[in-house]
Structures are given as structure tokens and as C-alpha cells.
Amino acid sequence: MTTPQLTNLQSPVSDIASPFLRACYRLPTESTPVWFMRQAGRYMAEYRAIRQKYSLVEICYHPELAAEVTLQPVRALGVDAAILFADILLPAIPLGVGLEFAKGEGPILHNPVRTMEDVKNLRPVYPETDLGYVMDAIRILRGPLAGIPLIGFCGAPFTVASYLIEGGSSREFLKTKTMMYSAPEVWHALMEKLSSVLADYLVAQIRAGAQAVQVFDSWVGALSPQDYENFVLPYSQKVLKAAKAQGVPVIHFGTNTTTLLPLMKRAGGDVLGLDWRIPLDEGWSLLGDDVAVQGNLDPAILFAPLPEIKARVHDILRRAEGRPGHIFNLGHGILQHTPVDHVKAVVDIVHEFKADR
């Protein structure tokens, strides 16, 4: 049974009112839409107050709390889109790899995946039930968001696989790459499994009401284009294609991806994320005019004085030249001690900018 999506029922694409959704489809907007990766989180006092009582996973397990945290930056900042409060590692819980967010250490996976047997032991995942709390948060949010689009998300197969294999965060991705090069059959079996789970998970989020989705391939820049093409592209493509078939815009994000952008475009996405390591106009011309782009302020610029922030934001907007299909964002997530008033200032600077200035 398929549930029809509101976005499909409303009207032709050209009648969409939301500037964020319009930009995803490269339709003109009055001003550039803006939202931030990690716009909910520890830099906000409201979030820290909830985190004093609940762990990250507990917030996710309580849909009303996840919904409240999702709304915090929407109220405080005036952004053009909300991103669901969840984490790319939540699917690791039903997979059975023993996820823990340890204080000060980031995620730890107690049963990492290293062998074919480990892959075979991964449990089947039914997102509608196993991750039903995520869908419940989405259903709660559609009302209070009152027209602000909600972005659902998942990790891309490579980035999620890297956590499963390494057992946590990594700098070199040595265990991950060693599996690719030394036991390709194990790697491909793991990526088959993960891409199916992640595709089903995104489809479930869209059916629950997410009006756009982002696939986070945060660490894929660790790979050469050749390895991306052989070991990653087909699996990302499967996830992006499944989401796209549901009729919502799809954002494909990575960092350190300058040499990977054309291949990431081939893998899919209506919108490609750009980080700050490449000027926005150069990244966009590598990709071509037939995709939208999202980015690309360095998150560290938010620690600079306001006049410097304004100059950097204007530089990015000038590089976009008012072309339809630019969504303003950072090149990666908001950092922990970022001043909230600087984040709010960026929203205002973006909204006030006129292309001819």
C-alpha cells in the first residue's frame, strides 16, 4: 500500500510556495532560503536544558521531545526549513551493533562489523516499527511547523558503514578501507544490506510526512574518485533513487568532495552539498547548471566578528549570482560553542541580500 504525499497532491511543482522547496527545484525565490546542518544542538541553551534531563538517544525515543528540539531553531532563528532531530546512527540500534553515545567521546559501536559472519548477523530492520519513534516525531511536527518544510535524513551507506566497521569515529578509515581492498565480498555484502535498510528508512520518513530528505555522506571525501565509483556510488545511488521515487527533493551532502562532485552528481540528488574548501561558483560549475547547490560557509566563520561574517556571507551570495537553485547553509554542521546571535545574524543577512548589491 502506498500513502500519497501532500507535496504530490497539492499542485504542480511551479506553484510551490516554500522558498526552500522552490530552490530545491531551481525555481526563482525572492531571497535565498537558508537553514543549517545541526541547527538543533548544544550551541542552543534550550537544547542544553533538555539534554540535562535526557540523553541524545532518549530525546529521539520520545517523539514529543524530538519534535520540540526540532522546533527550537525554527523559532529562534527564522530558518526556511526544519531538520528532524535524530541521528544518522539510529538504524545501527535495530541492526544490533550496540550503539552508545559515550560522554565526550562520540559514538561507540560495541559489536563492530569486520567479517562476513558479522554482516550475516546484522538483524533485519523494519523502519516503520523498529524506528517508528522517528516517524512519530515527523507526524507530530507537520502541524506546529505550519508550512515550514521538514527535512528527513539518513547517513549514506559509506558513512554509516565506516562507523559500523571502525566501531566509532575515525580519522584514517583504515579498517574501512582495509575491508574494501582485502575483503571486497564482505564490503559489498555490507553495503547491499545497509543501502536497503537506509532506502527503506528514508521512504518511511517521506511517507510519514518529510517534505525533503538529505543523505549525509559526511566522510566520503576520504576516498579517491576511483574507489568512490567502484565501492560506493551504486549503493548511494540506490538510496537516493528510492527517495526520489517518492516525489520529494533529495539533497546529497558530503565534505572534502571537490574531486568527487561529478560522481556524486551521477549517484543522484536534486541538490548537491558543497563545503567551504571550494568556492561556491567553482563547485557549481563542476556540477553543472542542472542541479541545485547547498552551502557553503565555513562553520568556523561563525566565531568571527559580525562584519567579517557579513562579508563572507555576501561573498557566497555574490558567487551564486542570484541563480535559482542556491540554498544557503554551512559547509558542515554548526559547531558546539557557536554564538547563537551570529547564527541568527546569518539568517538575516541572507534574507536581506539582494543580488544586485
Omega before residue 8 within 30° of 0, cis: no
Looking from the CA of 316 toward its CB, the CA atoms found within 13 Å total 30
Active site residue 51: yes
Question: Is the Cβ of residue 87 or residue 130 nearer to ligand CP3 in the bound state?
Answer: 87
> At 315, which amino acid appears?
D
Q: At closest approach, how far in Å is the CB of 217 from ligand CP3?
A: 9
User: What's the closest the beta carbon of residue 231 comes to ligand CP3, in angstroms?
Assistant: 19
Residue 153 or 187: the one with the smaller Cβ distance to ligand CP3 is: 153
Tell me the closest approach of the beta carbon of residue 219 to ligand CP3, in angstroms: 7
> Which of residues 16 and 148 has its CB atom nearest to ligand CP3 in the complex?
148
> Nearest approach, Cβ of 38 to ligand CP3 (angstroms)?
4
- Could you confirm whether 38 is annotated as catalytic? yes
Q: Using CA atoms, how far apart are residues 237 and 45, in angstroms rounded to an integer?
A: 38
- For ligand CP3, the closer of residues 216 and 276 by Cβ is 216
Plot region of 123 (φ>0 → left; ψ -120 to 50 → alpha; else → beta): beta
Q: Do 235 and 157 form a contact (C-beta atoms < 8 A)?
A: yes
Q: Among 51, 142, 319, 323, which one carries the catalytic annotation?
A: 51
Residue with cell 501532500: 6
Among the listed residues 120, 276, 98, 112, the one whose alpha carbon sits nearest the alpha carbon of residue 193: 120
The cell 551564486 sits on which residue? 320
Q: CB 241 → ligand CP3: shortest distance, Å?
A: 21
Q: Site residues (CB under 6 A) for ligand CP3?
A: 37-42, 51, 56, 83, 85, 87-89, 101, 106-107, 153, 169, 216, 218, 333
Name which of 101 and 181 has its Cβ closer to ligand CP3. 101
User: Which residues neighbour 127 within 8 Å (Cβ) at sequence distance 6 or greater?
Assistant: 91, 134, 135, 197, 200, 201, 203, 204, 205
Q: How far is the CB of 153 from ligand CP3 (least distance, A)?
A: 5
Q: Where are the alpha helices (DSSP H) in the chain?
A: 6-10, 19-24, 45-53, 56-61, 63-77, 92-95, 116-121, 127-130, 132-145, 157-166, 174-182, 184-208, 225-227, 233-244, 261-267, 280-287, 306-320, 340-352
Of residues 80, 87, 130, 217, which has the active-site annotation? 87
DSSP state of 221: G
- 69 versus 186: smaller Cβ distance to ligand CP3: 69
**87 belongs to the catalytic site:** yes
Point out the residue whose Cβ comes nearest to ligand CP3.
Answer: 218
In the set 38, 142, 277, 323, the catalytic residue is 38
Tell me the C-alpha distance between 52 and 42, whole Å.
Answer: 11
Residues forming the active site: 38, 42, 51, 87, 163
